[in-house]
């Protein structure tokens, strides 16, 4: 079958079981629950196979939603809902990307009974991009937050109970200016924004973000302010909840996402994962 720009395939579309079997894409741990999603962008899908011969897909599986893996909060793992006749949640891992021959894929049609909603397609795109858009914090700042004070663990612990009500934790360090700090009295200035959902339950989401913000603020004060009555290492200027409905683009450019899997980076040779 000839490939052309009218291909039925789009980013976020799912492969059928027949295509999964023919292309050998069964999930290693849960073969009977395999879900395979197209990761390649629509513009690249439309290109002639002579120039763009490979389509990238992500092999995943059916799952039970874990709110801490939604909204692209975790760059390694995504939980996202597919809507349709029989909606379900799927889990994808960033290391499970596979390249397949475009002409082989062209022998099959995508599943039509389930699709990503537009907002969930946007989440998939953010998640796919997150591993390639990593603007690192200063090494010294990360050392203080993760190893010296263990406050990164406190942040993760404060956010975890609230699942998908919280979209993400965003930092503004030294108002976006990279400054070399030396010694505990030479403090970084940190502002934290806990971004929460606007819908479907604004009140519940705002309450969850407020609880997380209060817990984080308390942890910083107990660790870095209370002992000496003067901020040490990192000065937390504020930690506040904010609805996604009021976050401006200007603010978004200034803030950097602090991903919850930062707490594991010390044991792995991986660079920090940050804002979209």
169 in Cβ contact with 258 (< 8 Å): yes
Domains (range + CATH), the chain: 17-130 (no CATH), 139-267 (3.30.460)
What is the number of alpha carbons within 13 Å of residue 75 lying toward its C-beta? Answer: 22
pTM: 0.69
pLDDT in 10s for each residue of the chain, 276 residues? 566 667 899 999 999 999 999 999 999 999 999 999 999 999 899 888 888 999 999 999 999 999 889 988 888 899 999 999 899 999 999 999 999 999 999 999 999 999 999 999 999 999 998 777 655 688 899 999 999 999 999 999 999 899 889 998 999 999 888 888 999 999 999 999 999 999 999 999 999 999 999 999 999 999 999 999 999 999 999 999 999 999 988 888 788 888 766 433 333 333 333 334
From the number of C-beta atoms within 10 Å of its C-beta (0-12, 13-18, 19+), residue 111 rates as: middle
192 in Cβ contact with 213 (< 8 Å): yes
* CA–CA distance, 231 with 253 (Å, rounded to integer): 27
| Assigned token pair, 187 | 């403090």
Least Cα distance to 275 among 81, 95, 137 occurs for: 137
């Amino acid at each position: 079958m000839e490939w052309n720009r009218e291909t039925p395939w789009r980013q976020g579309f799912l492969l059928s079981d027949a295509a999964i079997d023919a292309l050998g894409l069964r999930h290693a741990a849960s073969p009977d629950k395999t879900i395979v999603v197209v990761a390649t962008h629509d513009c690249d899908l439309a290109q002639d196979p002579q120039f763009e011969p490979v389509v990238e897909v992500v092999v995943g599986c059916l799952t039970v939603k874990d709110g801490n893996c939604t909204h692209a909060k975790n760059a390694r793992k995504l939980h996202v809902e597919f809507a349709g006749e029989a909606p379900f949640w799927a889990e994808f891992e960033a290391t499970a990307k596979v390249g397949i021959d475009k002409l082989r894929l062209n022998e099959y049609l995508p599943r039509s009974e389930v699709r990503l909603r537009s907002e969930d397609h946007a989440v998939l795109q953010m998640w796919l991009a997150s591993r390639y858009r990593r603007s690192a914090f200063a090494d010294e700042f990360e050392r203080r937050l993760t190893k010296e004070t263990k406050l990164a663990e406190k942040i993760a612990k404060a956010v975890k109970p609230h699942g998908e009500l919280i979209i993400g934790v965003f930092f503004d360090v030294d108002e976006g200016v990279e400054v070399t700090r030396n010694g505990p009295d030479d403090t970084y200035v940190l502002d934290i924004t806990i971004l929460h959902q606007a819908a479907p339950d604004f009140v519940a989401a705002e309450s969850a973000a407020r609880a997380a913000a209060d817990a984080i603020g308390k942890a910083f004060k107990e660790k870095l302010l209370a002992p000496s009555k003067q901020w040490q290492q990192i000065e937390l200027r504020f930690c506040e909840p904010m609805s996604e409905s009021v976050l401006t683009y200007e603010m978004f450019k200034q803030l950097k996402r602090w991903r919850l899997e930062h707490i594991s980076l010390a044991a792995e040779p991986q660079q920090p994962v940050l804002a979209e």
